[in-house]
Amino acid sequence: MTEPAVPGLAALDYSVLQQCMHCGMCLPTCPTYDATKRERNSPRGRIALMRAVADGELSIGVEFAAEMSYCLGCLACQTACPAGVRYAELFETARSDAERAGVVAGVGRRFWRSVTLGWLFLSPGRLRTAGRLLRLYQRSGLEALARRWRLTRLLPAALRRLEPQAPRIAARFSDELIARRESPPGAPRHRVALLTGCIQDLVFPDVNRDTADVLLANGCAVETPDSQPCCGSLHAHNGERELSRRLARALLDRVPPERYDAIVTNAGGCGSHLRHYGALLGDDPAYRDRAALWDGKLRDVHEWLAEIGCRAPTAAPFPETTAVTYHDSCHLAHGQGISGAPRSLLGLLPGVALLELPESSWCCGSAGVYSITQPEQAEALLDRKTRHVLGTGAAVVAAANPGCQLQIARGLQSAGSAVRVAHPVSLLARAYRRESDAATGSPAGAAKTAAPPGSP
């Protein structure tokens, strides 16, 4: 298929660029402006740069690209903006313009972007193979040997910083934990598709299993298509709009929206991108109608459970009363406008004392690949988040995005803390399982992860 010309800042509807009133309401919410107090590092400063590019008054150069890279894309400014500025659209378009202009040089950068965005994340098979190889490296003793002999010093600087942060790859991925079709007890009230994601699939497949169990417990027949491609959020966030469009088409083919009452995602970062396929493919006559239908059916799992009326469990997720605090994923709270539903679900849990986290919607510094491209700023944000979590005195911090879970867990570990990190849905699934155990007389918490129907 021949791709249409990519719309850049100069081709955007000019009213989108004019929405910003320069009122400054966004300034206190922007982590980068908070760090530097420089206007150019604020949302309205960046929009002024984008508008100058659109007006032909500013050429896209290294400084423009660097400023767009410095932005976290956390979208807190969208929540604060009284004028409804569509910053996500402007931000992704600006990054795409910078990539097409080729102003950020470097053979190494081009190579790694080509390997990751242009090859690895375009194929679920390749991504899982890479995951299995990484797991073999982690579990075989090679990782410990490489660190003991300091072989990691041979890696490029960015990878050398990243190596200690590499997530632990799960033993089994989502396809092995969840049957393609699972039905609840009794007649299903809804038919839903479950999206398994990329990092979620490789690192947190248990969260996908938990999500399926919670949906089943609430009367949903769950279909989980295997070999799901990446949703394209990582590509869109990093200026690769056309690759993002390609992946959107592949996912629409794999998960036909007309078959389901809802398409459910449990990752805040993915969901923010997934619910805008209509705009992404609006000029594609072969996909635009299905993309628009998809947008109407895409639901974050907390949103969907609140919509259908989530059943409160009769058992507590933990043997004793436990204090839990909640961190808002940026793209769940700001990108999708969902902050009350996760708290409401946590409020259904017996034996859970829910404590509000100061600056709960302030970015933790994960932001996709931000910890690679902007390590100092990412670490400063993580330190800030870690201090707030520890200050609550909670034993568990709930977060609904894999990047946030990994980032916050790393911060807590570095601080020597025993505070656990969990997805809200996993806590709900745990409570349902303890409820079931109590009803059958099984030992509480005997099975953390249920096997797919028909499994031995």
Which has the closest alpha carbon to 265: 213, 200, 177? 200
102-148 per-position pLDDT tens digit = 888 677 778 878 888 889 999 999 999 999 999 999 999 988 888 88
State the DSSP string of 304-326.
Answer: HHHHHTPPPPSS-SSSS-EEEEE
- 333 membership: H or E segment, kind and range: helix 330-333
Tell me what pLDDT residue 456 has.
25
**How far is Cα 115 from Cα 73, in angstroms, rounded to an integer?**
23
Cβ count near 318 (within 10 Å) = 20
Token pair of 379, please?
Answer: 């670490």
Q: Is residue 74 scored above 60 in pLDDT? A: yes
User: How much of the chain exceeds pLDDT 70, in percent?
Assistant: 94
Residue where the block lists tokens 């000019």: 14
State the DSSP string of 115-173.
Answer: HHTTTGGG-HHHHHHHHHHHHHHHHSSHHHHHHHTTGGGGS-HHHHHHGGGPPPPPSS-
Which has the minimum average pLDDT: 154-163, 169-178, 265-274, 358-367?
A: 154-163
Token pair of 115, please?
Answer: 């390997």
Tell me what pLDDT residue 5 has.
43
Average pLDDT score over residue span 199-203: 95
Token pair of 291, please?
Answer: 């993309």
For the chain, give every domain's residue range.
9-105, 108-165, 174-308, 322-434
Q: Is residue 4 scored above 60 in pLDDT? A: no
Mean pLDDT value across the chain: 91
Backbone torsions φ then ψ of 134, nearest 5 degrees:
-65, -40
Which has the minimum average pLDDT: 80-89, 148-157, 401-410?
A: 148-157
**How far is Cα 39 from Cα 46, in angstroms, rounded to an integer?**
8
Q: Is 431 helix (H, G, I), strand (E, B) or coil?
A: helix
Tell me what pLDDT residue 441 has.
72
What CATH number does the domain located at 9-105 have? 1.10.1060.10
**How far is Cα 257 from Cα 251, in angstroms, rounded to an integer?**
10
Tell me what pLDDT residue 377 has.
94
What CATH number does the domain located at 174-308 have? 1.20.1050
**How far is Cα 315 from Cα 317, in angstroms, rounded to an integer?**
7
Q: Is 420 helix (H, G, I), strand (E, B) or coil?
A: strand
Residue 402 and residue 199 in contact, taking contact as beta carbons nearer than 8 Å: yes
**How far is Cα 267 from Cα 122, in angstroms, rounded to an integer?**
19
Residue 87 and residue 335 in contact, taking contact as beta carbons nearer than 8 Å: no
Q: Where are the beta strands (DSSP E) in 249-346?
A: 262-265, 298-300, 322-327
Which has the closest alpha carbon to 263: 289, 291, 297, 293? 297
Q: Is 85 helix (H, G, I), strand (E, B) or coil?
A: coil
Tell me what pLDDT residue 451 has.
35
Average pLDDT score over residue span 228-247: 92
Average pLDDT score over residue span 166-190: 94
Q: At what angle do helices 87-101 and 43-54 cross, to 10 degrees?
A: 50
Which has the closest alpha carbon to 435: 348, 355, 353? 348
**How far is Cα 268 from Cα 271, in angstroms, rounded to an integer?**
5
Residue 293 and residue 353 in contact, taking contact as beta carbons nearer than 8 Å: no
Residue where the block lists tokens 């629409």: 252
Architecture in CATH for domain 322-434: 3-Layer(aba) Sandwich (3.40)
Which has the closest alpha carbon to 81: 334, 362, 271? 334
Give the β-pairing of 181-182 and 396-399. unpaired
Which has the closest alpha carbon to 34: 284, 384, 343, 300? 384
Give the β-pairing of 352-355 and 322-327. parallel
6-42 per-position pLDDT tens digit = 458 888 878 888 889 999 999 999 999 999 999 999 9
Residue 366 and residue 386 in contact, taking contact as beta carbons nearer than 8 Å: no
The CA–CA distances, whole Å, from 73 to 133, 237, 354, 357, 366 equal 31, 8, 28, 21, 11
Q: What's the predicted TM-score (pTM) here?
A: 0.91
